[in-house]
Amino acid sequence: MAQIRVVPIFEDDSDDYEQLFNAEALSPGNDMIVDSEDLLHDAEAEKDDGDIAIINPEDEPVFMADDFEGMKDLVLPLLPEQPPVLEDKVHTWAIENWRDHPRRDHGPTFEAGGHPWRVLFFPNGNNVDYVSLYLEHAYPEGTPPDDFACCVQFGLVVWNPEAPGIYQYHTAHHRFTKEEGDWGFTRFVELRKLYTVPWDDSGRYLLGDNYTANITSYVRICKDETGVLWHNFNNYDSKKETGYVGLKNQGATCYLNSLIQSLYFTNAFRKAIYQIPTQDEETLQNSAYTLQRLFYQLQTSNTAVGTNELTKSFGWETRHIFEQQDVQELSRKLMERMEEKMKGTEAENVLPKLFCGKVRTYISCINVEYESRRVEDFWDIQLNVSGNKNLEESFKDYVQVEVMNGENQYFAGEQFALQDANKGVIFETFPEVLHLQLKRFQYDIDRDAMMKINDRYEFPETFDAAPYLSDDADKSEPWIYQLHGVLVHSGDLNAGHYYAFIKPNKEGWFYKYDDDKVTKATMREVLEDNFGGEFLLPNGSMAMRGKTKPIIRQMSAYMLVYIRQSRLDEVLLPVTRKDTPPHLQKKLDEEAALREMRKKEREEQHLYLGCKVITEDTYRAHGGTDLTSFDRANSEDEPAAPRFYRLLRKSTIGELTAKVGEDTNVDPKRIRLWAMVNRQNKTIRPDAPIPEMNTTVEDAYQRLGGSKSAELRLWAEVAEEVNIDGNAIWPATPSQTNGNAPKTDLIVLFLKWFDVESQSLSGAGHIYISREKKVEDLVPVILKKMGWTEKTQLRLFEEIKPNMIEPMKAKQSLKAAELQDGDIVCFQKADAKSSESDRESISSKSSSDKTSLSKSNLGLDRIDNAQQFYDFLVHRREVRFHPHPTRNANPESYQPFELILSNKHSYDQIAAKVGEHLKVDPTHLRFWTVNAANGNPKASVKRGQSQSLSTILNPPYSTFANNNQRPDALYFEVLDISLTELDTKKALRVIWLSDGMSKEEPFDILVPKNGTVEDLIAALIKKAQLDDEEKAGPIRVYETHSSKIHKNLTRESQVMGITEYVHVIAERIPEEDLESGSELIQAFHFQSEPSKSHGIPFRFKIIPGEVFSDTKKRLEKRTGMKGKNFEKIKFAIVKRSSYSKPTYLTDDSILDEMLTAEDDMLGLDHVDRSRVVRNGVDLFLK
């Protein structure tokens, strides 16, 4: 009889090897395996994939199902994680009659790994046309211990006991927990294959003749070394499991997170950061302070920490959060900034001692005693990955010696002339902490693009750096380095993810720091998994995609951190709370306590209700429309804001009244509270008093206030009269009348006084009056309340709503005027005479709490009519003006100030107000909008007849250009000429070069729009106060773009042709360039790659036949760069026409002979000291 074995295979072989073995691929989403939280589910939810078992090669030996040892090797293949095996268990359940079993059944219990197990069995399928089998723990009543977790690799085999060659199996692995107590296969085998369709040509079925079958369980208990083997990370607590916390990813800041974690666990660095004095500069603009805060939070927090404060202190905007920066560049700039902050402190020399080594570049003659050498500091080493198999080969490649002979002999000065020589680099010292940058990203000349190198590249846990040191290096101690950190990039050039493996202590485990998640890691995860190259199967063979294409790992190490073994105790010294600055601890502990308090408030928020109460004092201080502004928070600076009380919802109105009385020094018996309601005209007025003092504030809120506002809004009325018991005597109100009480027509009205003399509006209390009375009857009541003489004449207005103020008719009854409880009557003295024109704004902010106009400008701004004053209030706008930081001649001579203006003001009216404040000609003022994101000037405001303050600060249309400007601030620029004349000029920023180009001075100049470069030069000489050209020499002007010369401008060039996208450079023409027949070459600065250009380019004279050692002397004079800065420059020929590697020059090169095309350029390769990154923003502004 033929021996037949059925193994489900993958239909799609395009998945990566890693995905084939990924535990997440064996989740309930795959139909062969399901979590039994919901074992009985709809068949419609099932898919027909059947793709969860491991492929076996065609030449694999065929086993019989009763050969348990052979089958174990088949159904329990090696796993990529290669976890240690604690125990293997094989158990067979003999089924006598398959058809007699219920829909859901359990097999016998057996023990493995100290836990009970059994098979969960659906003989007719779990709502599918397949047999369903699962492995589950067999703890009584399904209640394992709370900490139950067991990592199991298992296989289930159904086989015919009469023909052991006929069987079906599936295999999986899973982390069994209390929450996930079973795992298995919903679609194990089709039902029809049990006893309906013959299994093979022999005519037998999967079941025996009497529906017998055996189900064999192969259970392998695996050791969970890291505590996270096959973990789903639901409710995972990094701090609890590892003692460490991660960093939150802001968007694309995983590269920053991995670097910060690496530096944090370099304990000596962390301690040095704590030693930077920041107690006098506790601002979030100080990068040293924010880094201290971040380190302290990593040290003390129980949850993942955010990096928002740190990136903001770098000067990054939102867009930079989603741009991946170069990690090496970021690391270097961070070191530079911290080194500057440490100057003059006890940690001044810590960073060089930790991270800085010395490397010697030399050219040594073979036959004579002559050597040229240069020693430089290095903070990291860039090692080639391409062409090297491991770290040792890369170091050998780095220090390999190049023999200069034949045509490439070295010129050893006049004494020795041309000589054979050895050229190379050798290390003089290595730092205590060695940062190795693996060059995984390189330019591919064939593809004309940057590519990631995924070649396999091995690095050891320890290595000896002594072979790469010079012979005269100090070798009294071993130079053996131990691996401390591996920074990993997963993905390709365009998209990827960064994480780090770090060993925090001298002994112990490595941990994986993947943003906010920290897990323990095995050495295989640290080393083998990050070598890159092809995926290797557990048996050592290569994983293939198809038959010929190997599967390449996407994750590989790009930065290694090694610590010298003899310095481990010094570098990884303990850092405790005692090492953290006391002011930092105090500040962060206070913030933590405040966060905890606010958290508690949020949690208890449902128990409390906010109450805002208008009192007599707040109403009298209120100078706006309505009775108050409920949006304002009560404080000493805001006396007009309603008083706020946070009370338990079960508190009574009586308790609230007592609090109000205590705050206002009024007997609570004299106070009653009115509920405020929202009227249809968008005003908020008192509606009716709350009669019962035992009413809870919650009931009052629901019954009277409703849910239209988040808080209960009230007015506190104070009785003018009391009885002999001290209880208030209240005037009757319509809402209080009942069958026994007399009917009343009294209404309560609120009074406001518009004081023409002080140009202010204020509350004047309230009165009760009959609705049958006439408007003129209000006058004596008001005069008595204000203490004015009876002869005083008043003008009365009703404040219906903020933009509707109507004069009241003297003979009209209040009932006819439709006045009701809570209405507002505004009055003013009638003897104030109107000015020729009522204006609508004030020229400076009043120091009074009342809204008022500046007394110093009464003649200009006086308003004699309350209606017009209300109109001013509606369009009132407070604007803060700042001097433009770069365009004013003396910006420090101007201070920011605030003006209260009208939205109706035109550009000229705004200029008049600002000019009056600054005491400058308003025609010479130009305004700039303010960027809301960073507070910098955004765009100049165009002067036009249709422009008003409202359209300037709130453009009527929203575009990308104006949707992020501040609506309450402007910058001002004081011009030398009027705006009208400015319209005929073109504004240009010209960079003037002096001191051999080492000094750059920007000048903003104005040139007639129809002018030429000749006019530009004349304006520059005047602005910069330069000597004229006859005396000091001619000036030339050129445009630059991307730090390369874009265009040489002639004297006749029109200035209108100069666009805003280029920089304009001006300089004196060097004397040697003035010589007839001079040939000039374009020169520019770059760092490592010509595409990373920086600085200001220039033109340089070529002298035929000149040895480059002499050319360098002229370049030193031309650039103004001296000493070590100039010595570090490497010179190269760079071709403009195509992207190719630069050809570097030696001292004996001849420049004109190296040039092969007219557009060849001279490149100066050196570090960009301007600290400007690719996106044009300084990484560290503070």
Would you please indicate which residues are annotated as catalytic (active-site) residues?
A: 254, 497
User: What's the rounded Cα separation, in Å, for the pair 756 and 869?
Assistant: 10
Strand (E) or helix (H) holding 570: helix 568-571
Neighbours of 980 (CB within 10 A): 9
Q: Report CA Rg, the chain.
A: 42
CA distance 201 to 593: 77
Maximum pairwise Cα distance, the chain: 129
Query: What is the C-alpha to C-alpha distance for residues 398 and 499, in angstroms, rounded to an integer?
Result: 27
Round to whole Å and give the CA distance between 216 and 135: 11
Write out the DSSP string of 306-333.
--HHHHHHTT--HHHHTSPPPHHHHHHH
For residues 177 and 183, what is the distance between their CA atoms, to the nearest angstrom? 11
| The two structure tokens encoding residue 755 | 């004081």
Strands 876-883 and 969-974: parallel
Positive or negative, the Cα torsion across 526, 529, 531, 536? positive
Instruction: Kindly state the tokens that stand for 335.
Output: 């070191």
Cβ atoms of residues 749 and 819 within 8 Å: yes
Q: What's the CA gap between 844 and 173, in Å, rounded?
A: 76
Phi/psi of residue 546, nearest 5 degrees: 75, -145
Q: What are the helix (H) ranges across 604-703?
A: 616-621, 653-664, 697-700
In whole angstroms, give the CA distance from residue 1046 to residue 1064: 10
HEC readout, 876-935: EEEEEEEECCCCCCCHHHCCCEEEEEECCCEHHHHHHHHHHHHCCCHHHEEEEEEECCCC
CA 89 vs CA 76, 85, 116, 223: distances in Å? 11, 11, 12, 15
CA distance linking residue 982 with residue 980, whole number of Å: 5
Axis-axis angle for helices 254-264, 327-342 (nearest 10): 40
List 463's β-bridge partners, or say none: 481
Which strand (E) or helix (H) includes residue 218? strand 213-222
Nearest C-alpha neighbor of 427 from the set 503, 375, 368, 505: 375
For residues 1093 and 1142, what is the distance between their CA atoms, to the nearest angstrom?
Answer: 13
The answer to whether 121 and 36 have CB atoms below 8 angstroms apart is: no
Distance in angstroms (rounded) separating the CA atoms of residues 761 and 869 = 9
C-beta neighbour count of 725 within 10 angstroms? 6
CB atoms within 10 A of CB 452: 19
End-to-end Cα spacing for the chain: 83
Cβ distance 834 to 846 under 8 Å? no
- The phi and psi torsions of 601 (rounded to 5 degrees) equal -60, -40
Q: Which of 430, 525, 419 is nearest to 470 (CA)?
A: 430
Contact predicate 481/469, CB 8 Å: no
Encoded amino acid at 857, one letter: N
As given in the structure block, the two tokens for residue 1172 are 């400007």
Cα 512 from chain centroid (whole Å): 22
The dihedral of CA 610, 615, 619, 621: what is its sign? negative
